[in-house]
């Protein structure tokens, strides 16, 4: 069907703005809001309770969605997760248990490495579950079960709305796994579902920070290198933030686990390096504050993407603070996807780059 940019300058902008709607649509397909429960429409050909391990594989942004999901499956379902990029999985020849489960994540459902990893898992006798945005794709057809995202067609090469919808489905899957494995009480499930239901509204609020992000983008555009830091699920979000920025602005960016700062990247820090810290006020926030202090002590320019409570608790001089609405930490990655994408988008637009068609990149990599 017809896909246009609407009132937006770029597909990427339109797709960022669409997120409250498409995440809401995705949620409507996975949760029973009244009962406060996840409902999977398709019957699964395996039992989460019988799994000893979950293997996840994907490429690019979908891989980072998988990395976030690893934290969810491990904490909510106490299910050990092994995850790798598909270009490694396919040649590593990992031993995979017969009747175990491989989860593949792909917007297009056509990425060559992801497809090859899926086929490898099948050949090892694994069940396969695909989180895909294109239900008619090869990966969807070849998987034993499919959990669709309802992002609609994504045109911008840099993935945005597909990512937040992948996170939404993955959190629902982790809840379903937790219930099946008896690691999640009905109350906790309801609490997470209640939090999930607020995500579209919170994302709509986050989108409103656009003018502020535009101002910040002018600063980031001057940098040669940008560092992104985070802990817990904010660590993969830092990786995703760095990927988005380098993909479309061509500024060198690196994402790092905040606790690893002292093992390398701290050597890079001076006044010329913006350090973007993704830090909702969660259980490990104080640990991230120590890392921010290390950055500040070396003259690094901190850009905090956090909430008001965190900003007050940190009590640090930052170059800027993007004050996010308060969120239940479990859903933070879904909501924080918005500012991360806006930062990359506005930096690239300010620098005059072609954000929808960045050089050398393809939307779907169907050849190796």
> Of 86, 26, 81, which is closest to residue 48 (Cα–Cα)?
81
| Minimum gap (Å) between residue 154 Cβ and ligand G6P | 8
Nearer to ligand G6P, 157 or 278 (CB): 157
Q: The tokens 């919808």 sit on which residue?
A: 165
Exposure pattern of 213-251 as b/e (b: 16+ CB <10 Å)?
bbebbeebbebeebbbbbbbbbbbbbbbbbbbbbbbbeb
The Cβ of residue 44 has, within 10 Å, a number of other Cβ atoms equal to 17
Site for ligand G6P in 89-148 (CB under 6 A): 106-108, 111, 114
Nearer to ligand G6P, 180 or 237 (CB): 237
Among 39, 186, 312, 361, binds ligand G6P (CB under 6 A): 361
Of 36-44, 151-159, 232-240, 314-322, the segment contacting ligand G6P by CB under 6 A is: 151-159
Site for ligand G6P in 34-73 (CB under 6 A): 59-62
Distance of CA 281 to the CA centre of its chain: 18
**Could you tell me which residues come within 8 angstroms of residue 92 by beta carbon, excluding any fewer than 6 positions away?**
84
| Phi, psi (degrees; rounded to nearest 5) at 274 | -65, 135
19 counts as binding ligand G6P under rule CB under 6 A: no
Among 13, 16, 51, 158, binds ligand G6P (CB under 6 A): 158
Strand partners, 321: 304
Nearer to ligand G6P, 132 or 332 (CB): 132
Of 155-163, 193-201, 302-310, 323-331, the segment contacting ligand G6P by CB under 6 A is: 155-163
Pairing of strands 37-38, 54-58: unpaired
Nearer to ligand G6P, 293 or 364 (CB): 364
Q: The tokens 């940098």 sit on which residue?
A: 223
365 counts as binding ligand G6P under rule CB under 6 A: yes
| Minimum gap (Å) between residue 306 Cβ and ligand G6P | 26
| Minimum gap (Å) between residue 60 Cβ and ligand G6P | 3
Is 363 known to be catalytic?
Answer: yes
CA distances from 162 to 267, 274, 335, 362 (A): 35, 27, 13, 16
| Minimum gap (Å) between residue 249 Cβ and ligand G6P | 15
DSSP code for 44:
P
Distance CA 68, CA 231 (A): 11
Q: Are 161 and 22 within 8 A, CB to CB?
A: yes
Structure tokens at 9: 């300058």
| Minimum gap (Å) between residue 153 Cβ and ligand G6P | 12
Query: How many amino acids of this chain bind ligand G6P (CB under 6 A)?
Result: 16
* Residue 128, Ramachandran bin (φ over 0: left; ψ between -120 and 50: alpha; else beta): beta
Nearer to ligand G6P, 84 or 205 (CB): 84
Among 138, 149, 159, 291, binds ligand G6P (CB under 6 A): 159
| Minimum gap (Å) between residue 300 Cβ and ligand G6P | 29
330 counts as binding ligand G6P under rule CB under 6 A: no
Contact residues for ligand G6P, defined by CB under 6 A: 59-62, 106-108, 111, 114, 157-159, 361, 363-365
Residues annotated as catalytic (active site), given as ranges = 363
């Amino acid at each position: 069907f017809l896909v246009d940019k609407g009132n937006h300058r770029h597909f990427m902008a339109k797709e960022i703005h669409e997120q409250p709607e498409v995440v809401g649509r995705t949620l409507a397909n996975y949760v029973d809001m009244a009962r406060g429960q996840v409902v999977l429409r398709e019957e699964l050909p395996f039992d989460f309770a019988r799994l000893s391990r979950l293997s996840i594989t994907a490429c690019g942004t979908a891989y980072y969605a998988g990395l976030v999901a690893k934290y969810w499956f491990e904490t909510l379902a106490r299910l050990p997760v092994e995850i790798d990029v598909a270009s490694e999985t396919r040649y590593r020849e990992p031993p995979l248990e017969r009747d175990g489960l491989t989860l593949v994540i792909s917007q297009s459902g056509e990425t060559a490495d992801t497809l090859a990893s899926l086929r490898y898992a099948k050949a090892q006798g694994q069940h396969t579950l695909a989180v895909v945005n294109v239900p008619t794709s090869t990966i969807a057809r070849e998987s034993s079960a499919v959990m669709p995202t309802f992002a609609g067609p994504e045109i911008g090469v840099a993935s945005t709305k597909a990512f937040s919808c992948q996170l939404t489905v993955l959190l629902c899957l982790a809840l379903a796994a937790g219930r099946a494995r008896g690691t999640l009480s009905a109350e906790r499930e309801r609490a997470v579902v209640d939090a999930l239901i607020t995500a579209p509204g919170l994302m709509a609020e986050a989108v409103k920070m656009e003018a502020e992000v535009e101002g910040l983008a002018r600063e980031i555009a001057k940098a040669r290198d940008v560092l992104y830091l985070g802990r817990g699920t904010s660590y993969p979000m830092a990786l995703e933030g760095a990927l988005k920025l380098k993909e479309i602005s061509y500024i060198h960016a690196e994402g790092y686990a905040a606790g690893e700062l002292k093992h390398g990247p701290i050597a890079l820090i001076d006044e010329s390096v913006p350090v973007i810290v993704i830090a909702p006020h969660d259980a490990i926030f104080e640990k991230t504050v120590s890392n921010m202090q290390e950055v500040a002590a070396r003259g690094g320019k901190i850009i905090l993407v956090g909430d008001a409570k965190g900003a007050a608790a940190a009590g640090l001089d930052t170059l800027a603070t993007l004050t996010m609405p308060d969120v239940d930490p479990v859903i933070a990655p879904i909501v924080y996807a918005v500012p991360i994408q806006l930062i990359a988008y506005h930096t690239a637009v300010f620098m005059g780059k072609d954000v929808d068609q960045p050089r050398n990149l393809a939307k779907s990599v169907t050849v190796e």
